């Protein structure tokens, strides 16, 4: 009995000593030490969470194209947000295609939001990331619904967008990331400055910078390509690249049937006395000029025949505007009001000619049967580029029309790409 009591006393004494030691340790800790430890753990969790956070996910549907009230104020080519592309936008040979909204600079230097898409090849990216082809699309219209990143199969502008898909899929299979700008004001708030060189070129360049913020292993080395309006944009981008996009490295530019020599075409309007689709393109150009140059008064420039249909440039795509019951039913010769002083208009048009200076080589691809951008215009453009000191390879494709030149030139384009910037495959 005495033994059991002694054993119990020993146990109680040991417990008392442990309790006292615990109290001493608690008292010895600095004030707030427990809170500090807790705070440190929370900070670690936040850092871990922040490290895992990727580019911001944009809203679904048309809300994607409406930029937030607060946009990045410094620089340009900043990714605003992204999300998975849908409709007819994803390219079949891509591992992934993203819609992107990014910043650019307008002709006046204002920060604007621009939409577009980014597609990357399948497989593992090479060291340094996927080399890039930034593509300028041909004319679809000025209305927001005409933006390529809003394209749907069989949609109103689909025929003016998807015709280049086979070539872009081949670029992807060769190991090039393909980025496609909608251009400023096309899909996003504000009017699109159609065929105004500086904003088009900046749009084509800034999407390269923005794409590298997606975390998709995209290189800063790139090529530019573009058809028709996009050929014009491609050349302007090449001319701006060295000063506007210094963090990226341009290796070459392909311009398929680039729109050019607008002053010459405007002076020749009188020869087009029969109704045709050129009236739609000319009226879109008037809208584009007035967006970038507010001193152009379209109510004074346009004739009474064209003025009633002018608002349609903001609501209809080219496929609609070119119809006989729209602008396509009017003769280009009747576009400009009789007696209008064309001096300022000619000055602005001449300033948009893509006879730029660029250090990277240029491939000009032109079909001899092109009725939209006649061979004569590219014949006039090529020596002007050479006069700037540009290295130009001018290739003609016999019997090829405007829409077919991209496919006809593909073999030459792939050779040009591989020589200047090999693909990542």
Domains contained in the chain, CATH given: 62-261+353-420 (3.40.50.1820), 262-349 (no CATH)
Residue 203 parent element (H or E): helix 197-211
pLDDT of residue 54: 83
First to last CA, the chain: 88
Q: Are 99 and 56 in contact (CB under 8 A)?
A: no
pLDDT of residue 292: 97
State how far the Cα of 197 lies from the Cα of 352, in Å rounded to an integer: 5
328-371: pLDDT as tens digits: 999 999 999 999 999 999 999 999 999 999 999 999 999 999 99
Percent above pLDDT 70 for the chain: 88
- In the structure, what pLDDT confidence band is assigned to residue 72 with cuts at 50, 70 and 90? confident
Q: Are 145 and 162 in contact (CB under 8 A)?
A: no
pLDDT of residue 35: 47
The three-state secondary structure class of 160 is: helix
264-267: Cβ within 8 A, 24+ apart: 264/377, 264/380, 265/377, 266/342, 266/345, 266/346, 266/349, 267/346
State how far the Cα of 270 lies from the Cα of 331, in Å rounded to an integer: 9
377, two tokens: 């215009």
pLDDT of residue 208: 98
pLDDT of residue 42: 58
pLDDT of residue 25: 33
The three-state secondary structure class of 384 is: helix
Q: Are 379 and 261 in contact (CB under 8 A)?
A: no
pLDDT of residue 44: 52
What's the mean pLDDT in 186-206? Answer: 98
Q: Are 151 and 116 in contact (CB under 8 A)?
A: no
100-113: pLDDT as tens digits: 999 999 999 999 99
What's the mean pLDDT in 291-304? Answer: 97
What's the mean pLDDT in 312-338? Answer: 98
> pLDDT higher for 202 or 41?
202
Mean pLDDT of the chain: 90
pTM given for the model: 0.88
- Closest by Cα among 368, 382, 332 to 231: 382
pLDDT of residue 33: 44
Q: Tokens 């898909």, residue? A: 165
State how far the Cα of 53 lies from the Cα of 62, in Å rounded to an integer: 24
Residue 223 parent element (H or E): strand 218-227
pLDDT of residue 7: 45
13-51: pLDDT as tens digits: 333 343 333 333 343 344 444 444 445 555 555 554 444
State how far the Cα of 139 lies from the Cα of 372, in Å rounded to an integer: 11
Strands (DSSP E) contained in 360-409 are 362-367, 392-397
Query: From residue 14, how far is each of 3, 19, 126, 362 by CA, in Å?
Result: 17, 9, 67, 89
pLDDT of residue 21: 37
pLDDT of residue 8: 39
pLDDT at 267 over 90: yes
């Amino acid at each position: 009995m005495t033994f059991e009591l002694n054993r119990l006393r020993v146990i109680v004494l040991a417990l008392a000593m442990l309790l006292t030691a615990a109290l001493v340790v608690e008292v010895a800790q600095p004030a707030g030490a427990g809170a500090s430890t807790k705070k440190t753990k929370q900070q670690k969790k936040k850092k871990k969470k922040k490290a895992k956070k990727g580019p911001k996910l944009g809203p679904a549907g048309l809300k994607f194209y409406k930029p937030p009230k607060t946009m990045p104020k410094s620089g340009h080519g900043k990714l605003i947000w992204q999300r998975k592309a849908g409709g007819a936008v994803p390219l079949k040979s891509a591992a992934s295609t993203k819609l992107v909204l990014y910043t650019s600079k307008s002709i006046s230097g204002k920060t604007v939001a621009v939409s577009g898409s980014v597609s990357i090849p399948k497989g593992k990216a090479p060291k340094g990331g996927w080399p890039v082809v930034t593509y300028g699309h041909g004319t679809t219209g000025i209305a927001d619904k005409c933006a390529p990143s809003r394209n749907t199969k069989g949609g109103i502008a689909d025929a003016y967008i998807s015709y280049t898909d086979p070539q872009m899929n081949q670029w992807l299979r060769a190991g090039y990331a393909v980025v496609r700008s909608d251009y400023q004001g096309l899909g996003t708030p504000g009017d699109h400055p159609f065929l105004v060189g500086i904003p088009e070129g900046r749009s084509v360049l800034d999407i390269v910078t923005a794409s590298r913020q997606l975390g998709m292993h995209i290189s800063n080395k790139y090529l530019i390509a573009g058809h028709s309006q996009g050929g014009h944009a491609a050349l302007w981008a090449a001319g701006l690249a060295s000063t506007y996009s210094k963090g990226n490295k341009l290796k070459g530019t392909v311009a398929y049937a680039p729109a050019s020599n607008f002053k010459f075409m405007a002076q020749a309007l009188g020869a087009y006395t029969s109704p045709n689709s050129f009236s739609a393109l000319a009226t879109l150009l008037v809208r584009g000029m007035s967006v970038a140059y507010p001193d152009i008064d379209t109510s004074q420039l346009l004739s009474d025949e064209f003025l009633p249909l002018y608002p349609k440039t903001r609501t209809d795509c080219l496929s609609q505007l070119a119809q006989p019951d729209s602008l396509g039913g009017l003769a280009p010769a009747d576009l400009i009001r009789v007696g209008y002083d064309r001096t300022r208009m000619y000055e602005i048009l001449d300033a948009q000619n893509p006879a730029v200076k660029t250090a990277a080589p240029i491939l000009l691809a032109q079909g001899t049967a092109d009725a939209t951008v006649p061979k004569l215009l590219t014949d006039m453009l090529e020596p002007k580029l050479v006069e700037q000191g540009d290295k130009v390879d001018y290739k003609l494709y016999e019997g090829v029309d405007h829409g077919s030149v991209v496919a006809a030139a593909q073999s030459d384009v792939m050779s040009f790409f591989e020589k200047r910037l090999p693909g990542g495959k």
